[in-house]
Structure 1
């Protein structure tokens, strides 16, 4: 009798498990799983795995199982290049996704071009060159471009804070931090020509003690401070700035998807500020509802925007493969170019001219929310990507 029951359970299990073709579709996923950005990369990897689990549960792609190979890029260009080469040459992946930080992502973009392996950047690399002067046929950026954020941020500040006369910046000292600050300042000056810059502070990437830099900014008494400290560095910055009263003495704007992670990690210890995000977890569409419900079930917290981009990138890739009816690199590239795809943040166009995805931007004020144990962005202003994006013919991208 026991044998019959066990055999019956096995039959039921086999019937409920999709039957896949022998050869799996391999996707290499690279994110920071260690170091100061590990808090971000671990969550991104969980979201990536969840997307693959959903796809396989639904029957795979073209009847084939999807296999995800998760690796640590350490937010390092050298590590990303080494790990990327191994994924391509030894693990024989069909595609690469993720990669945290602009320098690391640019090194993988070079590999994608050299080996003709599609790379869908979803780890937060926002440097303009990726879809600008250094664009290539095999690299796509699914997360937002930095310019989309700083243009939206400047428009919001000029419109909502007419009393702001002086401004300061405190940012990480690398390409993304400088590009974002300089871009924001330039756009703000177009709208408020009389704005006065009182502090222009850049913090070395290796620095863990921000207190001297924070004091230097506070001493200048700016009406508004703009920053793009993200992931672990963003959380550390907020924790160190709170005792100095930075958030009580000025308006603080934490830009470019940096505020979302801090909201969830800091919970009730969060500080008052404004921020810009490419995603909020309460968006009402079928894909997002499934994603959020299962992510919360597995992790006990909602996904932030970096998780949404990780999950959504896998789903966009799935739709492109199905559109191409193939995993052939060139056919999938052609399917991605100019296509509109479903994602947790809504319908998303991937531009043909520069391979930049076009998604909305949400800007609001961080406030306590009685529905959750953490703060959320409230009084949201939603800005379409088309309003703040550089036209395709002005990006400097010459596809090769």
Structure 2
């Protein structure tokens, strides 16, 4: 073989090798970290449904099994490689595990977090590490009220929409309400929920009196003293944003003491436990579900697919945390594929996806989502509220007297913080 021929063959081999490397880089999976509760008091209501949703949604996306317009495989043809980790622990632990996902496990994107305290701690770290992070469940309005972010998105609406929707519901269904009390967890989620509900009630019905406000510590597990105070108060409405184990325990202890016979319970995120604790939730309880999810969800092809697929695989119905995971993944998929189309079909960069995600509008199993707040990083959506009863004939939980509030009715405009909007009497609300 001549020297020239050997050189030509070597050059061709090098070109082929380079082409293979580029092709395989383009076809590498998208690594996504999913921090959800795998231990602790929030496992039953949040962790297990969220983990189930991740496994179902990722497999269905990779196989191209979702309804249109989400039926392209993976993210624009790139397969998703999930990494599910435990969210449990204090904020220092949560931040450490986030860094491990990014620096050790080399994930491209993070989708997760239930705890508002966890989200508020992780957000500045995600900005520092420049990692696209989608908070799927935490509801703290302070996340975008207090700071702008480049790498942080949240598809689900904040706790402000829950507070406004439930206040409107109470006052429309029970216009003779004279007072209300509240029992909420003593940390950011409970404090912010109670603040927003009080402000919404003051704006809508200034003559209705706020009576008792109780703030037990997070995951206290024992509410005997607080229930005694509520029984003595006789408030016709008792508001609570409890979640996870605290919510389940409070329902059992309050029912045993007869509180639901004296006061109507208003559970702003109560939908999460209906499938697990339906027989124990008192009839007549007012139920919210962080939007229009679970038993409050829309009737559309995406919801039909999700509900049928989830029940078939897990023999249980998905609750609102599972729906939040679905909405977040659909938002990511819509943004990724929009960015990829604009990039000539090539794998988009993080900045490409951020640009496409900002201000995006897309459809979910729970209806339309608009990334309208937080300079296009915070979603708004419809919120549904209903009244609960357990159907003994069918042995199934039911919601009736459902009312759906438009997104623009229960969220502030883009130029105001939630607290400012509520204190001004919710100007511009479109109900």
TM-score (norm 2): 0.83
Q: What is the aligned partner in structure 1 of residue 312 from structure 2? A: 297
Distance 2:338 2:214 in 1: 47
The alpha-carbon deviation at position 367 of structure 1 amounts to: 1.2
- Write out per-residue CA displacement over residues 362-394 of structure 1, whole angstroms, 9 at most, x where no aligned residue: 111011247853313211000011111111111
Gaps of 5+ in 2: 1-23, 65-72, 341-346, 420-431
SS at 1:252 equivalent:
strand
Alignment pair present for 1:259 and 2:270 = yes
Q: What is the aligned partner in structure 2 of residue 97 from structure 1? A: 111
Superposition map of 1:115-134 within 5 A:
115-123=129-137, 125-134=138-147
The alpha-carbon deviation at position 205 of structure 1 amounts to: 1.1
Q: What is the aligned partner in structure 1 of residue 17 from structure 2? A: none
Distance 1:370 1:218 in 2: 28
The alpha-carbon deviation at position 139 of structure 1 amounts to: 0.7
Distance 1:84 1:302 in 2: 30
The verdict on how the C-alpha distance between 1:169 and 1:135 changes in structure 2, with shifts beyond 3 A counting, is same
Q: What is the aligned partner in structure 2 of residue 155 from structure 1? A: 168
- Write out per-residue CA displacement over residues 256-293 of structure 1, whole angstroms, 9 at most, x where no aligned residue: xx211221111222212002221134532111111111
Alignment pair present for 1:389 and 2:411 = yes
The counterpart of 1:363, out of the listed 371, 376, 385, is 385
Alignment pair present for 1:288 and 2:303 = yes
SS at 2:288 equivalent:
strand
SS at 2:195 equivalent:
helix
The alpha-carbon deviation at position 38 of structure 1 amounts to: 1.2
- Write out per-residue CA displacement over residues 324-355 of structure 1, whole angstroms, 9 at most, x where no aligned residue: 00441111111111111121111211126151
Alignment pair present for 1:198 and 2:207 = no
Contact 2:186 2:215 in 1 (8 A): yes
Runs of 4+ in structure 1 over 3 Å off: 19-22, 369-374
What CA RMSD, in Å, does the superposition of the two structures yield over aligned residues? 2.0
Contact 2:50 2:322 in 1 (8 A): yes
Instruction: Count residues with an aligned counterpart.
Output: 376
Alignment pair present for 1:35 and 2:40 = yes
The alpha-carbon deviation at position 206 of structure 1 amounts to: 4.1
Alignment pair present for 1:332 and 2:346 = no
Contact 1:288 1:343 in 2 (8 A): yes
The alpha-carbon deviation at position 75 of structure 1 amounts to: 5.4
Alignment pair present for 1:137 and 2:150 = yes
Distance 2:25 2:107 in 1: 18
Q: What is the aligned partner in structure 2 of residue 232 from structure 1? A: 245
Distance 2:55 2:330 in 1: 11
The counterpart of 1:316, out of the listed 304, 307, 331, is 331
Larger Cα Rg: Structure 1 or Structure 2?
2
Alignment pair present for 1:342 and 2:347 = no
Contact 1:94 1:327 in 2 (8 A): no
TM-score (norm 1): 0.90
The verdict on how the C-alpha distance between 1:356 and 1:242 changes in structure 2, with shifts beyond 3 A counting, is same
Alignment pair present for 1:250 and 2:263 = yes
Q: What is the aligned partner in structure 2 of residue 223 from structure 1? A: 236
The alpha-carbon deviation at position 396 of structure 1 amounts to: 8.5
The verdict on how the C-alpha distance between 1:64 and 1:104 changes in structure 2, with shifts beyond 3 A counting, is same
Distance 1:304 1:373 in 2: 18
Q: What is the aligned partner in structure 2 of residue 274 from structure 1? A: 286
The verdict on how the C-alpha distance between 1:323 and 1:192 changes in structure 2, with shifts beyond 3 A counting, is same
The verdict on how the C-alpha distance between 1:126 and 1:288 changes in structure 2, with shifts beyond 3 A counting, is same
The alpha-carbon deviation at position 186 of structure 1 amounts to: 1.6
Distance 2:379 2:396 in 1: 30
Contact 1:127 1:179 in 2 (8 A): yes
SS at 1:392 equivalent:
coil
SS at 1:193 equivalent:
coil
The verdict on how the C-alpha distance between 1:86 and 1:223 changes in structure 2, with shifts beyond 3 A counting, is same
The alpha-carbon deviation at position 314 of structure 1 amounts to: 1.2
Q: What is the aligned partner in structure 2 of residue 16 from structure 1? A: none
Contact 2:266 2:287 in 1 (8 A): yes
